[in-house]
Amino acid sequence: MQVYLDNAATTALDPEVLSAMVETMEKYYGNPSSIHAHGRQVKAIVEQARKTVARLLNVAPAEIFFTSGGTEADNTAIVRGIIDHGITHAITSPLEHHAVLHTLEELQKSGVIRLTLLNVDQQGRVDLHQLEKLLSESPRSFVSLMHANNEIGTLTDIEYVSALCKQYNALFHSDTVQTMGHYVHDLAKLQIDFVTGAAHKFHGPKGVGFLYVNHNTKIKPFIYGGAQERNMRGGTENVYGIVGLAKALELAYAHIDEHRQYIQGLKDYMIAQLKASIPDIRFNGDISPQNSLYTVLNVSFPCTDIADMMLFNLDISGISASGGSACSSGSDIGSHVLNAIGSDAKRPCVRFSFCKNNTRQEIDFVVGKLRELCLEKA
C-alpha cells in the first residue's frame, strides 16, 4: 500500500481543477496584457478568477494580487509593508515559516527594523499578553503571526490579534497558507492588513498564490517590470495557475464543512490508535480540535534508537510523511519549531498531514507500521 500523509507540504491536484486548467491551456493562449481580442479574452479570465477569490474571502477584487506562491506573497507584505510605512519595529514568533522569519531577520540585519520574538509555550501558543505589552510600548509596529503552524498545527486567534493591532495602530500580516481553503476567512470582518495563500495547499497547482492587501493599506510593488496586477507585480501572469487557484478555492469552500468533519475524524482516529498501540506516545502542539489545525498531527515517538531512520523506514514501507516543514527537508539543524517548543531532540518526530482523499484503512496501515518500528525493532 502507498499512503500519502504529507498534505501540509502539498496536496494532489483535484481533477476538476486540472480540467479547468487544461481547457484554458488549450483554448486561451493570448497575453493578458495585449490589447487585441486574444489578449482581452485571457485578461477577462484572470479577472474572473480574481473576482472568485475575492467573493469567497468577502473582499473587493482590487484587494487580491496573484503571486508565484506563499513565499513571494509573504515577502511582499513584509518588505513593502515595513518599508513603505516607515516601520522600525516588527513582532513575530520563533515558530513562523522561514518565508516570514528569514525575511524579517534580513530586514533586521540591514538595520531597517528591530525584531522582537514573542514567547511561546510547549504547545506552540504565542504569548498574546506580551504582544499587547509590546504594542503599547511602540509608536507603531509590524506584526506577523501565522494562523496555524505548518509543523505542529497550533492555531493562533488572528481575530483577537487583528483587534489588538487596530487598537495600537499596528500593521498585521498573517501567513494563512496552511488554513486557506480549510477554514472560512471573512477578511472584511477580520480587518487584517495582509493575508497570504498558496494554491497547492488546497488541491490547486504549485507555483501560484495570492496576497490580500487591505484597501486602506497602501504599498509599492515588490517585483518591478510591467504594469501587471494593476501595477503591483511585474511579469506576465501565470494564467493557467490562476485559473487553477480560483477553481480549487471555490471547490474547497463548497465542501468546507464536509471535508473538515471528515478529516478531523481521521486525525482523531489516528490519535486514538497511536495511544492504544504505542506506549509513551506524545504529540507536539495543541491537539484539541478547537485549537489545532485539523489537517496536521505532529507525533513524538519513544523509539530513540531509530530516530535518524524513522522517515526512511516509513518511506520504504510506502508511507510519505515529513519530519517537520518540507521547506527544511535535508537540513541538519533540526526543526526550529520543535526546538522552540522544547520538544525532546532525542525522540523522532513525524508530521502526518491529512486531506479529503485519505482513509481509515490507510491510518490503520500506518499505525501498524509505526508499531512495528517502535516496538518490534526496539
Rounded distance between C-alpha atoms, residue 46 and residue 56, angstroms? 16
233 and 294 co-located in one domain: no
Which cell is 277 given? 498501540
- Report the CATH number that the domain containing residue 357 is assigned in CATH: 3.90.1150.10
pLDDT, tens only, 132-175: 999 999 889 999 999 999 999 999 999 999 999 999 999 999 99
Q: Are residue 79 and residue 192 in the same domain, yes or no?
A: yes
Q: What is the mean pLDDT of residues 314-320?
A: 96
Distance in angstroms (rounded) separating the CA atoms of residues 200 and 80: 25
Per-residue pLDDT reduced to its tens digit, 212-269? 999 999 999 999 999 999 999 999 999 999 999 999 999 999 999 999 999 999 999 9
Q: Where in the sequence is the domain holding 355, given as residue range(s)? A: 3-12+256-376
Q: Is the pLDDT of residue 329 over 80?
A: no
Judge whether residue 68 has pLDDT over 60: yes
Could you tell me if 196 and 311 lie in one domain? no
What is the reported pTM? 0.95
Measure Cα distances from 344 to 138, 321, 329 in Å. 36, 19, 19
Number of domains in the chain: 2
Residues 229 and 144 occupy one common structural domain = yes
Percent of the chain topping pLDDT 70: 96
Whether residues 310 and 229 fall in one domain: no
Q: Quickly state the pLDDT bin for 330 (edges 50, 70, 90).
A: low
Concerning whether 327 is annotated as a catalytic residue, the answer is yes
CATH code where residue 141 lies: 3.40.640.10
Among 327, 349, 355, 374, the active-site one is 327
Residue 306: is its pLDDT beyond 90? Answer: no
Picking from 227, 254, 281, the residue at the C-terminal end of a domain is 254
Q: Which of 237, 254, 271 is the last residue of a domain?
A: 254
Do 135 and 177 lie in one domain? The reply is: yes
Looking at the fold, whether 241 and 282 belong to one and the same domain comes out as: no
The 10s digit of each residue's pLDDT in 277-295 is 999 999 999 999 999 999 9
133 and 243 inside one domain: yes
Q: Are residues 42 and 113 in the same domain?
A: yes
Based on the fold, state whether residues 173 and 41 are members of the same structural domain.
yes
Q: At what angle do helices 158-167 and 128-137 cross, to 10 degrees?
A: 20
CA-CA distance, 268 to 290, in Å (whole number)? 12
The CA distance from 340 to 319, in Å, is 27
Per-residue pLDDT band for 377 (boundaries 50, 70, 90) equals low
Cross-strand bridge partners of residue 30: none
Contact 296, 178 (CB under 8 A): yes
Same domain, 179 and 165: yes
Give yes or no: residues 94 and 208 share one domain.
yes
